[in-house]
Structures are given as structure tokens and as C-alpha cells.
Structure 1
Amino acid sequence: MVQSCDAPSTTRWLPEDYVERVKRVHESGGYESRGYGYDWKREEADKNLLRTHTTAVSSRMLYVLAQKPFAPKKYFSIDRVFRNEAVDRTHLAEFHQIEGLICDRGLTLGDLIGVLHDFFSRLGMTKLRFKPAYNPYTEPSMEIFSYHEGFGKWVEIGNSGMFRPEMLRPMGLPDDVRVVAWGLSLERPTMILYGIDNIRDLFGHKVDLGLMKKNPICRIGLE
């Protein structure tokens, strides 16, 4: 569903007719969904809170895209997110999330898998596994795993899926348009690539400044 309640910006920038469509889908369904069957409250969605993921950014960009004659698009973002999690060697309460999505006509799960293999291979990770998962705004959904030589096991590095019709159709996107999306932390793949077994050695006061100085700055080229 539209994750408007998960971003520091509120729903006040949205037209009332779109907000009403989102409310109706949450409460009673539509666009092939049965809905959640609860009372969706505008005042709850308008609250400011630290976002747990960047899907709120993706939703906003897709809505803007839907207001124009359709053209395929790719979006990519990196931003800070926050979680109510216990800190251990693979988890932090705050980290950086990378999110990518492709919006085009007739995309399939096979396209998503192909994109993920291409994306992670460019990061030096060719050993990938996928596991079916549940996300409230994608179906089908898959968790992404890569092999960590230091841990000697497969480690979850991201999540992915195809945005549900009941998320896209209320925006005004055409019926045959599909969106494949994936999200990952910046820190987990970095740990795998550099053989780091404790995330606190990568992010925070224990970071090895020598590691930072001897590695080149990453430059990302966008099409």
C-alpha cells in the first residue's frame, strides 16, 4: 500500500481524490485487493516519524510519473533509515538503504530476477539466492541472500518484489504497467565485499579510518 505514513513529509501534498482512493483500498479493497479491513485515518498518516525504509520516496516519484503520459522510468535512491532493532554484529538501529525500481509495461518476476543478478554482479556478488517473502506493498516478494565467506553462510542482503496493483492503480498508472523494485542496506554488501564480520567496524565510532583512506571513492553513473 502507499507508505505515506512512513516518511517525514506528510500526505498534505497529495490531492484529496488520490488520498480518498488510498483510504478506500485500505478499508475495503479494490484493484484486485481485499484491503486490510480497518479504518484508515488521515491524521495517523500525517504524523511525522523516522522512516523505516525509503518506499515513501518511491511512492511519491511514481505518483508524479502517473500524472503525465506514461514513459518507462528507472529510479535509484540512497538515504538514511531507522529501525527499532537490537544492535548486534549484523544489525544497527540506523543505516543507509539503497532502493531501485524500474517501471515499464509488461514486466515480470523473471525481469526482476535478471535485474538483481546484474545489479549485484556489478558489486562483485555473483552468489545469490532468493526466498519467497511477504511485503504489504509487493506481490510476489523475495528476500535476497548472498554468501558471506567470513561468516561461512548465506546472509540476507536485501528485499525485492513487484508493486501490487492496488498500490499503482490508484496513482493513475495504466493497467499494463508493472514496477519491479528492490532494496538493500549499504552496509551489508560492503561487509561481504570487504570480509568484515561486525557491522560496528564499518559504521560508527569503531570504524577503521585506514580502510576508508586506502579505498577509492565510488562514482555511480546513471543512464
Structure 2
Amino acid sequence: MGFTEMPTNQYVETGFWNFDALFVPQQHPARDLQDTFYVSDPPTAGKPTKVSPDDKQDYDQYFENVKEVHQNGKYGSIGYRYPWSADESLRLVLRTHTTSVSTAMLHKLAGQKTADGRVPPARYFSIDRVFRNETVDATHLCEFHQVEGVIADYGLTLGGLMEFMDMFFGAMGVTDLRYKPAYNPYTEPSMEIFSYHKGLNKLIEIGNSGIFRPEMLESMGLPKDMVVFGFGLSLERPTMIKYGISNIRELLGHQVDLNFVQRNPAVRLDKS
């Protein structure tokens, strides 16, 4: 499908990549201690910088763009109109989503140009762990796996995103999806994705999706006519539906039945 895997081996991120670059305001409830694990030693890190010599982006300017779009508004937005704090932005957290990595990848993409001077289309994906300070129950864990996908191209539509989601989940045997309008600070429009779980006898949320906002994309330097789809899902919840599991703790943690793992291998190789 043309996707490139993103490097997701860094579990600890600054608030800048995890929140601010995604246009999440610093007063947002997701940034509270009740929802996010903050690192105490060390508590902060430096400003974002280049990590490879082929990176052509100006990170100081990007940092200022993010500050400006939050504090005063930019790119057609009035922003949030609050005194944005660089210190708050540099606090270290256990990443709450792998979208922090997607943001860094899109920022690097903005520095690339084709022969005609345009930013090239791109598709990225990742599968890795994320951490949220949530109460553990039958459908929630404080540490779980997120599947993330990003499609950047020209002329994309919301209908195209829904069609892709139907195809993506259908390949895993998860069908009859339902889409619900939602709010995300970094996507507009946004949709939560639901599927019916027979064991729980109800629809459960299995993913989130949307089109990234211009406040986020244009701060990076991406062109106005480039549209970026983003979608993310817990790896565990679609697995619950596929295998008829009613308690997510049976998939990750000390309650996992090893016989179930042996009966249902994660990878099947065709010997032929």
C-alpha cells in the first residue's frame, strides 16, 4: 500500500512533540497528571533540533511558529489566545500516542521538494507502545499498542478516508464500521470509528481519524493545498472483536492465557 515505517523507539517525548506541535493547548485536560505520565528525572529537555545532516528544516522557526499559532493565531486561525509557555512545552512525558512521531515525520517531509518544487506525497505507518494514566478495566489499559497511519497528498477527501478505513479494517476481518463525528485539537473534521463487539453486546470505539488542521501543517511549512489524513487505533481492541475476547487484560498483562497465544500465532508464514 506504499507505506513507510516510522521510527518509534523513543517512548519519552517532550510536550512540544506530543502536544504543542499538534495544536493541543497547554490547558487541555489530556495534559493533566490524571491522563499523562510525566517524567521526574530529568523533568525537561531542550528545544527540538536536527537529528540528521540531511534534515533541511529550521527548528527554531518551527518552534516560534507553534508558539505564535497557539498564542496569537496564524494561517487564518485566531489561535487559543493564551500566554504559551516554552517551559511547559519542554516537559518530558511518556508519549500518549505515536502521533508525536507522525508530527516529526511530517515536519521533515515539509523540507523535501520534487523537481517541480512541490512537497512529495507520502504515506507513513507505525505500530508501537503508548502510555496513558487511565483506570484499567475491561476495555482500557494504561499501556497498550497503537497502530498509526498518515497519508499526505493532494486532492484527498473525507470520503476517501472513510473508504480507506473500511478497506483497512476489512482486511483484518473487522467489518460493519460506524463513524461518529468527534473533536480533536489537531484534526478537523474528526471521526471516531466503532465496531460491534458480540461478547460485550455493544459498539466499542476501535480507532480515531481525521484531517490534520492547517494550524498544525502550515506551521511545519507544508503547502496549503496538501491534505493529510491521520488515523490511529488500539491494536488490542480490534483483536478483542476478531477473537471474541471480552476483557482487554487477557491480551496484555499477567492475565494472558499462554494457551490462547499458542493457538493463535501473531504471524503465519506460508512455507511454499
TM-score after normalising by structure 2: 0.76
> 2:17–2:104: 8 Å Cα contact kept in structure 1?
no
Cα offset, 1:174, TM superposition: 1.2
Per-residue Cα deviation, 1:63-102 (whole angstroms, up to 9, x for no partner): 0000011111111011211111111111111111111010
Q: Counterparts of 1:74 and 1:11 in 2: how far apart (Å)?
A: 27
1:150 to 173, 192, 199: 199
- Asked if 1 retains the 8 angstrom alpha-carbon contact of 2:128 and 2:147, the reply is yes
Contact kept? 1:6, 1:52, Cα under 8 Å:
yes
> Is 1:5–1:47's contact at 8 Å kept on the other side of the alignment?
no
Decide which of 54, 61, 71 is 1:17's aligned counterpart.
61
Question: May I ask how many residue pairs the two structures share in their alignment?
Answer: 218
Conserved 8 A contact 2:189-2:210: yes
CA distance in 2, matches of 1:175, 1:49: 31
Cα distance in 1, alignment partners of residues 138 and 239 from structure 2? 13
Task: State the shift of 1:10 in Å.
Answer: 5.8
Aligned runs of 1:1-223 on 2, under 5 Å? 4-6=16-18, 11-13=47-49, 15-69=59-113, 70-218=119-267
Deviation at 1:30, TM superposition (A): 1.4
Q: Structure 2 unaligned runs (5+)? A: 1-14, 20-38, 40-44, 51-58, 114-118
**Any unmatched runs of 5+ in structure 1?**
none
SS in 1 for 2:48: helix
Whole-Å Cα distance in 2 between the matches of residues 25 and 61 of structure 1?
20
Alpha-carbon contact 1:85-1:93 (below 8 Å) kept? yes
The offset of 1:32, in angstroms, is 2.4
Q: CA deviation at 1:5?
A: 4.6
Q: Deviation at 1:29?
A: 1.0
1:218 Cα offset (Å): 3.0
TM-score by length of 1: 0.92
Identical positions, percent: 58
Amino acid at match of 2:18: D
More helix by share: 1
Aligned equivalents of 1:197, 1:182: Cα separation in 2: 24
Q: Aligned partner of 1:169: which letter? A: E
